[in-house]
Amino acid sequence: MTQIVQQLAAELGIGLQQVQNVITLIDEGNTIPFIARYRKEAHGSLDDTQLRDLNDRLTYLRSLQKRKEEILAHIEQLEQLTDELRASIENAKTLAELEDIYRPFRPKRRTRASIAKEKGLSPLAEKIFAQDLPDLPLDLAQEYMSEEKGVATAEDALAGALDIIAEQVSDDAAIRKELRTFTRRNGLIVTKGKTEENGVYTMYYDFSEAVLKIPGHRVLAIDRGEKEDKLKVSVQVPDEEAKALVCSFAVKGNSPCSLAVKSAAEDAYSRLIFPSIEREIRSELTEKADEQAIHVFSLNLKQLLMQPPIKGRVVLGLDPAYRTGCKIAVVDSTGRVLDTAVIYPTPPQNKVEEAKAKLKALIKKHGVSVISIGNGTASRESEKFVADLIHEMGEDLAYIIVNEAGASVYSASKLAAEEFPQFDVSLRSAVSIARRLQDPLAELVKIDPKSVGVGQYQHDMPPAMLDGALGGVVEDCVNSVGVDLNTASHSLLSYVAGINGTVAKNIILFREENGAFTSRSQLKKVPKLGPKAFEQCAGFLRIPESKNILDNTGVHPESYPAAKKLLELCGGDLSSLTARAQGIGLAELAKQLEVGLPTLKDMLEELSKPGRDPRDTLPAPILKTDVMELSDLKPEMILKGTVRNVIDFGAFVDIGVHQDGLVHISRLSDRFVKHPSDVVKVGDIVTVKVLEVDMERKRISLTMKGIQ
């Protein structure tokens, strides 16, 4: 374990004791959100992202260590383990390097070399490979002819011996390592089209790019094109240089046997080594591209989930449609459904006046102040209809276009059926569209993260890898915001640290049978919520109704005695608590309370604003009262917009014309931008300038450069 601790500390740039403490906490069954929030003294205030990176790397290194032990045991069983081989295995840094070392000892299927060995040609191969005899290889092969063993001629014997040599060369870990490095440095990804038709892969019909430089999004596009049988993909290197590299390891001197070994080495390169290296390089590029895409997806998802809620408003959700009509759901400020309806203001019905009358009645009856419109089919017509309605009513009323990605997935789910058994699928979708404006996090956790409309190539990602990363993002968001124990859905509760699906259901059942929770300590009465689960989850659950103010903060129950003592020592108004504490001196105060400085600072922040929501400090969504058309856009126009998606080559921005515009990475800033996520995040309100509008293809080109 010491070696793993040292490696993690060096790789992540953190202290040995920090790493050891985190590993101990993980092994004790603590969750990442709990460690990040309530064990800061142990790990030096690392954030949840750093802790997850450490955990992921720890898992990899432990797997590597386990594989080393398995390989050592197997080679020892074969009685072929030398001190040098043991050292090579123990010093291997990656699984690929380790498997290269193990390759000669790995059980093999029948190969040309194994068949030659069965024919007794190993001694001949050894003589030739030694390259220290003046004899011609064919002359040496004469004595290995055997009708009984199926070696009819000297040529057959020589061919078999060269097959054995080729496999030995192929199994040489040093050769593979050098050729892999050579291919990374000098290789090209080359693609050819399998069809003449114009389509999404046209640019790859005759394309090449250096392995070292090809960006992840192009790798994923090429992979998809290959899967769809539109592209033929290969890795190409300077063949003669690559063969010479292999021969430099295998060929010694210039004897007749050396020439035979050269022939075997070139055969090994063409038939065995390079096809394997090509697969590895392709796999390596895809793996890196997947990691990058998942990283970007995770960033986008976090920003989407952490968008500020529009609180204290009655919202009307509108799910647009044509033939079947627009579904309406009115929800109060807590998300409770007040009313539903169906209107037909869009083609082919066009019952505009009837729809207006129905909406006006609902708006006045329930005091609606915001209309949330889904951005799917017929949303353009629905938006114009709503804008006209707002002008007619002349009241304090606004609307916003909401990304409805995943709403249909949710509305058809078992969860939605349990939540709204009385509504059909489309009405559930309208409720979701309204609620995701009121509290994006609480609503979006009900949907598979892959369906929320951010990211790139998410359906091509390894499912387990993607689900693990996105699940971690959702978990971190839910726990950083905190959850109201008396209103949270099963979906929201199941993401709280220490709470699984079964315990979440038990909490809701307990709430229904016993009424609202009045203290955190009541959680201990919930079936299957044991001491460890309570320790992990309690600090992230809020009870606004509790008589104990601490129950509505992020202060953990284990710190209640210290928090009460803090209030006694610093007394007075909570809003000036931090100032009074600073007057005493934080270090001195922490000593008196017997807590670490990070815990004291967190307590002060929580007690200064009980029930605070970290999302409230973010800019609110742009609410609109009028509508713009694509045809209204002109070059040089400067507009405000909302970032909807961030990808490797730029960002898509909603500027209120139904069609998102693209700010290419080269136009995101006046300075060099390594990745768009360094400049913008999903949900950011940005100022953009229109560069070009392609009416035919409905494409908008935007820039953020040179705007004062």
Q: What is the pTM of this model?
A: 0.82
Quote the pLDDT of residue 112. Answer: 94
**507/481 Cα distance (integer angstroms):** 19
Torsion of the alpha carbons at 260, 265, 271 and 273, rounded to the nearest 10: 170
| pLDDT one-digit tens code per residue, 96-123 | 899 989 998 988 788 999 999 999 999 9
Helix axes 239-250, 173-186, angle to 10 degrees: 160
Sign of the CA dihedral with 317 first, then 417, 411, and 354 last: negative
Of the candidate ranges 217-226, 284-293, 437-446, 604-613, the one whose mean pLDDT is the lowest: 604-613
Q: Work out the end-to-end distance of the chain between its first and last CA atoms, rounded to an integer number of angstroms.
A: 55
Helix (H, G, I), strand (E, B) or coil at 377: coil
Quote the pLDDT of residue 450. Answer: 81
**161/156 Cα distance (integer angstroms):** 9
**461/217 Cα distance (integer angstroms):** 12
Contact 332, 338 (CB under 8 A): yes
Quote the pLDDT of residue 626. Answer: 66
Quote the pLDDT of residue 624. Answer: 66
Quote the pLDDT of residue 1. Answer: 57
In degrees and rounded to multiples of 5, residue 346 shows phi and psi of -105, 165
**324/354 Cα distance (integer angstroms):** 15
Looking at the DSSP bridge assignments, the partners of residue 703 are 689
| pLDDT one-digit tens code per residue, 429-453 | 999 999 988 888 888 888 888 888 7
Contact 308, 620 (CB under 8 A): yes
Mean pLDDT, rounded, of the chain: 91
**74/102 Cα distance (integer angstroms):** 10
**22/34 Cα distance (integer angstroms):** 11
**201/195 Cα distance (integer angstroms):** 10
